[in-house]
Amino acid sequence: EAGVAQSPRYKIIEKRQSVAFWCNPISGHATLYWYQQILGQGPKLLIQFQNNGVVDDSQLPKDRFSAERLKGVDSTLKIQPAKLEDSAVYLCASSLNLAKNIQYFGAGTRLSVL
């Protein structure tokens, strides 16, 4: 069974530039999560989708971050414009559904904002 795919693995940008991350969840998984993990900290939930609807985005900085999950499968997370404090690993995870919520994670995208 293929795991959660993320790309790119690494990205370096300058502040005020924009960046996008892509995630392909495990086939058949209805719930998709985006997390931000700053070095030395645990993952922080940014947004959670059930199919193509948003379940929780209370910790998403909506003035600069946006996410979508068209057709309830792949998802993209965008940052525009980026700030220095956005430097982190962005993790995507998926689970079968909200009730069966064992999450399977991708390897993440490491973002460096200079």
Partner 1 sequence: EDQVTQSPEALRLQEGESSSLNCSYTVSGLRGLFWYRQDPGKGPEFLFTLYSAGEEKEKERLKATLTKKESFLHITAPKPEDSATYLCAAINTGGFKTIFGAGTRLFVKA
Q: Which residues bind partner 1 (CB under 8 A)?
A: 4, 33, 35, 40-45, 48, 55-56, 58, 91, 93, 98, 101-108
- In the numeric block, which tokens belong to residue 11? 């990205």
Is residue 28 classed exposed, middle or buried when 0-12, 13-18 and 19+ CB atoms within 10 A define those classes?
A: exposed
Smallest distance from the beta carbon of 54 to partner 1, in angstroms?
11
Nearer CB in complex with partner 1: 9/16? 9
Nearer CB in complex with partner 1: 70/99? 99
DSSP alpha helix (H) spans, 1-114: none
Smallest distance from the beta carbon of 82 to partner 1, in angstroms?
22
* Residue count (the chain): 114
Nearer CB in complex with partner 1: 39/70? 39
Nearer CB in complex with partner 1: 80/97? 97
Smallest distance from the beta carbon of 89 to partner 1, in angstroms?
9
- In the numeric block, which tokens belong to residue 78? 């965008």
Q: What share of the chain is helix, strand, coil (3-state, %, to 5)?
A: 5, 50, 45
